[in-house]
A = this chain, B = another copy of it.
Amino acid sequence: MTRHPLLITGFLDRAEQMFGGTEVVGYDGGREVHRSTYRDHARRVRRLAGALVELGVRPGDRVATCCWNHHRHLELYSAVPLAGGVLHTVNLRLGPDEIGHVVGHAEDTVLVVDTSLLPQVERARRARPEMRVVVTDGDAGPGTLAYEDLVAGGEPVTGPPPVAEDDLAALCYTSGTTGTPKGVGYSHRALFLHTFAACLADGHAISERDTVLHVVPMFHANAWGIPFAALMAGATQVLPGPHPSVADLAAAITGERVTYTGMVPTVAVDLVAHARATGTDLHGLRALVLGGSPPSDELLRALDELGVPTFQGWGMTEISPMGTFARPTPAAEADPAARRAAVRTQGRLLPGLQWRLVDPDALPTGDLRDVPHDGVATGELLLRGPWVADRYYRDERPESFVDGWLRTGDVATIDPDGYLRIVDRAKDLIKSGGEWISSAALEQAVLTHPGVREAAVVAVPHERWQERPLAVVVAAADTAPTGEELRAHLAEQVPRWWLPERVEFVAALPRTSVGKIDKRALRSRFGAAAPERPPSPVQ
């Protein structure tokens, strides 16, 4: 067989040749601002790629983007690799210092930025004065170039870039919740295979018949790889624009007859509330995929009631980012409760990847002791495969890898049908009286109470038991339980000694730059506070 290179740039050729009339649609604040076809999209991408080459982008050079989800960002997803460059999507929710750090670490040669985000990149620009700055919208200010001028003036690139399949096509940095952001480079080969995985019938199943709404930020973890998948499949793509409201999303879903979208549970909670309040019909969705953190049973039940088929995907920046997909077995699909239970797991490993679950105590010595896949035994999850990192970008971090496997840092179980349940981040386990309590399992139990919308459990120091769990809860409107009611509810599901003595009710949970619950913030806010009442004897 031909040693034909696996390059993602072929997806554009395909969309152009076979889906030339399929649309790319852009909104801004609920207003349509862009409507074109793949034919025009490809024409613009090819010109932009040519302009980037003319700007001096050489094979392997990094081109940073600091942009919301709009059609120009989508063009950059194809144009930078087509120019032979590496698409470095900068997380615009990082602070200016961190953005300065990642742009400096990546040594970006070009930065493409939305006008509204110019203040965020000021420090990065000062740190890399040689970097060319392109503004996507509005007039180009001093020292900047206008995106549309590049598109207008570029010489179209038609052939594949002069790169090999193992060369990088993209680069993301982790959100840095546990320290300095770490870079993960994605080869053409990795993203090519990841794109096929996203289109598998048992995965996200992106197809020509889909209209995809990009809710997941395109500035983080390749937007789950869905922009590449939609291009390859020839799906219609809808871009909601800068910080869309949930009303904007709902209007796009109904107005554009969206069939597929993905989002974090927090956004889905708001979408559900909006749909209920306004009577918005979400039936057109064939799949709503939740990711980033596990959904509550209440959310899944609400989506069931709205007739929205819901799934969960799990991944990491380090794995391009998709690792698993929770599609219920055919048997579970027939029963709503079993279906929800399956979707509350992280799902099955995607084909092509390999996993191990190993004893976390033996791991630091490099000893990989497998624990059984019985749905009960917990172990740290290790991954390897053609779209799994085996190093960080310009930063080896050997502690993150063992014997060719990525250490995910997640403690999990795997059941005999191959369904993954992440029990906790290794570092979020709560050690009480010498025994481990899973903060994630406790959160899941709290979330089964109908009066709870969102919940987080963190460890707080305790004189006698070293650590005890604290539950922080966002109550559902009108039906807030008391701490006592919540404990009674929990007592049916978890060991008595897991019951949190303290329950704090808040209006909203603090979030990190990528929308994850910021447990560091919770620990620092509540860790030293006086107890609600004296700790009751446990166990």
Q: How far is the CA of A385 from the CA of B1 in the complex (A)?
A: 8
Chain B contacts for A20, CB-based, 8 A: 416-417
Q: How far is the CA of A330 from the CA of B19 in the complex (A)?
A: 12
Asked if A11 is at the interface of the complex by the 8 Å CB criterion, the answer is yes
Chain B contacts for A232, CB-based, 8 A: 351
Given the known interface contacts A200-B200, A404-B2, the answer about A351 and B388 at a Cβ–Cβ threshold of 8 Å is: no
Q: Are B201 and A205 in contact (CB under 8 A)?
A: yes
With both chains docked as a complex, state the minimum distance between the C-beta of A416 and any C-beta of chain B, in angstroms.
7
Q: Are A201 and B196 in contact (CB under 8 A)?
A: no
Q: Are A17 and B418 in contact (CB under 8 A)?
A: yes
With both chains docked as a complex, state the minimum distance between the C-beta of A447 and any C-beta of chain B, in angstroms.
27
Q: What per-residue 1/0 map shows which CB atoms of A246-257 lie under 8 Å from chain B? A: 000000000000
Asked if A446 is at the interface of the complex by the 8 Å CB criterion, the answer is no
Q: How far is the CA of A201 from the CA of B202 in the complex (A)?
A: 8
Chain B contacts for A199, CB-based, 8 A: 200-202, 351
Which single member of B19, B166, B201, B234 contacts A3 (CB below 8 Å)? B166
Q: Which residue of B lies closest to A5 (CB)?
A: B386
Q: Which residue of B lies closest to A355 (CB)?
A: B17
Q: Are B386 and A2 in contact (CB under 8 A)?
A: yes
Q: A142-194: which have CB < 8 Å to B?
A: 166, 185-187, 189-190, 192-193
Chain B contacts for A104, CB-based, 8 A: none
With both chains docked as a complex, state the minimum distance between the C-beta of A328 and any C-beta of chain B, in angstroms.
10
Which single member of B187, B352, B388 contacts A196 (CB below 8 Å)? B352
Asked if A276 is at the interface of the complex by the 8 Å CB criterion, the answer is no
Chain B contacts for A234, CB-based, 8 A: 202
Number of copies of this protein chain within its complex: 2
Asked if A206 is at the interface of the complex by the 8 Å CB criterion, the answer is yes
Asked if A99 is at the interface of the complex by the 8 Å CB criterion, the answer is no
Q: How far is the CA of A389 from the CA of B1 in the complex (A)?
A: 4
Q: How far is the CA of A133 from the CA of B199 in the complex (A)?
A: 42
Q: What per-residue 1/0 map shows which CB atoms of A16-28 lie under 8 Å from chain B? A: 0111110000000
Asked if A400 is at the interface of the complex by the 8 Å CB criterion, the answer is no
Q: Are B201 and A351 in contact (CB under 8 A)?
A: no
Asked if A4 is at the interface of the complex by the 8 Å CB criterion, the answer is yes
Q: Which residue of B lies closest to A209 (CB)?
A: B330
Asked if A461 is at the interface of the complex by the 8 Å CB criterion, the answer is no
Asked if A207 is at the interface of the complex by the 8 Å CB criterion, the answer is yes
Q: How far is the CA of A205 from the CA of B207 in the complex (A)?
A: 10
Chain B contacts for A17, CB-based, 8 A: 373, 418
Q: How far is the CA of A205 from the CA of B11 in the complex (A)?
A: 19
Q: Which residue of B lies closest to A387 (CB)?
A: B1
Q: How far is the CA of A305 from the CA of B442 in the complex (A)?
A: 55
Q: What per-residue 1/0 map shows which CB atoms of A351-367 lie under 8 Å from chain B? A: 11010000000000000
**In the complex, which range does the number of interface residues on chain A fall in?**
35 or more
Chain B contacts for A411, CB-based, 8 A: none
Q: Are A418 and B207 in contact (CB under 8 A)?
A: no
Chain B contacts for A190, CB-based, 8 A: 1
Which single member of B189, B200, B348, B354 contacts A13 (CB below 8 Å)? B354
Chain B contacts for A390, CB-based, 8 A: 1-2
Q: Are A1 and B202 in contact (CB under 8 A)?
A: no
Asked if A122 is at the interface of the complex by the 8 Å CB criterion, the answer is no
Chain B contacts for A3, CB-based, 8 A: 166, 386
Asked if A466 is at the interface of the complex by the 8 Å CB criterion, the answer is no
Q: Which residue of B lies closest to A13 (CB)?
A: B354
Chain B contacts for A128, CB-based, 8 A: none
With both chains docked as a complex, state the minimum distance between the C-beta of A377 and any C-beta of chain B, in angstroms.
15
Chain B contacts for A388, CB-based, 8 A: 1-2, 4
Asked if A208 is at the interface of the complex by the 8 Å CB criterion, the answer is yes
Asked if A74 is at the interface of the complex by the 8 Å CB criterion, the answer is no
Chain B contacts for A207, CB-based, 8 A: 200-202
Given the known interface contacts A10-B354, A352-B196, A354-B13, the answer about A385 and B18 at a Cβ–Cβ threshold of 8 Å is: no
Q: Are A386 and B208 in contact (CB under 8 A)?
A: no
Asked if A263 is at the interface of the complex by the 8 Å CB criterion, the answer is no
Which single member of B11, B166, B385 contacts A351 (CB below 8 Å)? B11
Q: How far is the CA of A385 from the CA of B160 in the complex (A)?
A: 14
Q: Are A384 and B2 in contact (CB under 8 A)?
A: yes
Q: Which residue of B lies closest to A206 (CB)?
A: B201
Q: How far is the CA of A352 from the CA of B192 in the complex (A)?
A: 9
Which single member of B18, B187, B205, B208 contacts A330 (CB below 8 Å)? B208
Q: How far is the CA of A327 from the CA of B192 in the complex (A)?
A: 22
Chain B contacts for A373, CB-based, 8 A: 17
Give 6 pairs: A residue, B residue, CB < 8 Å, sorted on A.
A1-B320, A4-B385, A10-B351, A19-B418, A196-B197, A202-B208
A contact residues vs B (CB 8 Å cutoff): 1-4, 6, 10-11, 13-14, 17-21, 166, 185-187, 189-190, 192-193, 196-197, 199-202, 205-209, 232-234, 320, 327, 329-330, 348-349, 351-352, 354, 373, 384-390, 404, 416-418
